[in-house]
Amino acid sequence: MGTKTGKILAVDDNTDVLFALKLLLKQQFAEIHTEENPENIPKLVKQEDYDVILLDMNFSKDAISGKEGFYWLDRILEIDPSAIVIFITAYGDVENAVRAIKMGAIDFVNKPWQNEKLVATISAGLKLRQSRLEVDSLREKQSGLKAILEQPFGDFIGISPSMQKVFETIKKVSETDASILILGENGTGKELVARSLHKNSARKNEVLVSVDLGSLTETLFESELFGHVKGAYTDAKGERPGRFEIASGGTLFLDEIGNLSLPLQSKLLTVLERREVTRLGSNKPRAIDIRLICATNMPILQMIKEEKFREDLLYRINTVEIHIPPLRDRIEDIPVLANHFLKIYSKKYKKNIKEISSATIKKLQQYNWPGNVRELQHSLERAIIMSDTNILQPFDFHLTSSTSKVDEVELENYNLEEVEKIIILKVLKKHGGNISNAAKELGLTRTSLYRRMEKHDL
């Protein structure tokens, strides 16, 4: 026999009944708790997580109405709506059994019970309890997910005029089936725009299928996008639908479309014009119904001039273009984004970091962010993991890219204040932000170094 599971509570005013139940059930289940006084039920149910509760229907001597049992059933379900309650009584009748089930009990056992039947009933209750808990957990997750999804644009946030323009465009075009081309540098949030468009569209209850065309080889392109039949190529051991078929009824997001070779662009254009796909190795076309969203970080118009991208394909995929500005062009969004990621990662890593200092925000706004929002997000995550304080300071961020304005500072004059600031910055950078090591090299105490950093807004 495997490991015993299940925590059972038996409530009956007859000590002989409780003793018999404990003797029988301890052989089958992990824990058996017994209770004579029903008044203790609320406290017990609040304190313990019982899988099954065996409840006597009548506690007053000679009582046969079951009123007390129904009262305690109500109290149990009020505390734990997922509780599994099985009534046990010497006066079993069909009327009370039906009423008990209608009120929320899951079964009804007569005294004297048959051992096998009682164990089977409790085992069934145990499985039902697990199912109910799984459903509750799923419902909580869905509720949390719904709350996230109901934020207008999730992580895609901003107060800058350029981002407000992007949000406005999304609202205007979401409900249409117009093909959208999203343009922007890496890390600006092109996939978040695609998800926002889908979430606010008439197809929101259908699937959104994302394909990173930059990661597909020439040989895999047709199989992945159009599907294949058994034997279409050496490893094709069965039929498989492509991403177009899977996305049918919903939205297809083709990321990095600028990476496609001209022959593959031609194949894609044919599918979009005919609105049907033919699986690799088959000659039977299948109709598709998709809303198409594409994205690229490449200069498409320049590529058309250089004959690297088909002009007719561009017309097909960009009924509306959405340009996402780089983070360096919307620095007013940096505090909003930084605080957004601060909340997320402080909670994730159980850190009590409440704010970001104004000097830190200034430092973040002076940086060029070649990796855009994605780089900012990773920088916040790293800073939160490594920080030992409850306020993020400039030295928590190691922005080492050559585009950092800090790195561009040269010793152009001999102003002592400026020289001190540059030396502190260089030593902090050398020691990866470690205050103790930097202070030691500079011949200062930690407190003195902190004071100087504060003076220079570092």
Tell me the average confidence (pLDDT) per consecutive run of 10 residues in the chain, 458 residues long.
Answer: 82 92 93 93 90 84 64 90 87 71 87 90 92 76 49 67 93 93 93 92 90 85 86 71 90 93 94 92 89 94 94 94 94 94 91 91 92 92 90 86 44 68 82 80 80 78
Contacts of 33 (CB under 8 A, 6+ apart): 7, 8, 9, 10, 44, 48, 50
Residue 379 and residue 317 share a domain: no
Indicate whether 225 belongs to any domain.
yes
Verify that 252 and 203 share a domain, yes or no: yes
Q: Are residues 313 and 339 in the same domain?
A: no
* 208 and 134 within one domain: no
The residue type of 32 is I
* Whole-number Å distance between alpha carbons of 179 and 355: 41
Q: Are 85 and 121 in a shared domain?
A: yes
321 and 187 together in one domain: yes
CATH of the domain at 57: 3.40.50.2300
**The last residue of a domain, from among 291, 325, 359:** 325
Q: What region, left, alpha or beta, does residue 20 occupy, with left being phi > 0 and alpha being psi -120 to 50 degrees? A: alpha
Q: What is the pTM of this model?
A: 0.57
Domain closes at, from 325, 350, 368: 325
pLDDT at 219: 78
Please check whether residues 297 and 195 belong to one and the same domain: yes
CATH number for the domain spanning 264: value is 3.40.50.300
Judgement on whether residues 137 and 169 belong to the same structural domain of the protein = no
Q: Is residue 155 part of a domain?
A: no
Domain at 374, CATH number: 1.10.8.60
Residues 26 and 74 in one domain: yes
Phi, psi (rounded to 5 degrees) for 320: -130, 135
Rounded to whole angstroms, the Cα distance separating 336 from 376 reads 11
How confident is the model at residue 108, as a pLDDT?
85
* pLDDT of amino acid 60: 59
386 and 277, same domain (yes or no) = no
Q: In this predicted structure, what is the pLDDT of residue 298?
A: 92
In a domain, 83, yes or no: yes
Count of domains forming the chain? 3
pLDDT at 10: 95
Q: Residues 166, 312: one domain?
A: yes
**pLDDT value at position 430?**
78
**The pLDDT of residue 151:** 45
Q: Is residue 349 part of a domain?
A: yes
Domain-located, residue 72: yes
Domain contains 149: no
Q: Considering the domain boundaries, does residue 1 fall inside one?
A: no
Q: Strands 285-287 and 276-278, how do they pair?
A: antiparallel
In a domain, 152, yes or no: no
Of 112, 143, 174, which residue is a domain's last? Answer: 143
CB atoms under 10 Å from CB of 250, counted, come to: 19
**Domain assignment of residue 112, given as a range:** 7-143
| Cβ neighbours of 301 (radius 10 Å) | 11
Query: Do residue 404 and residue 306 come from a single domain?
Result: no
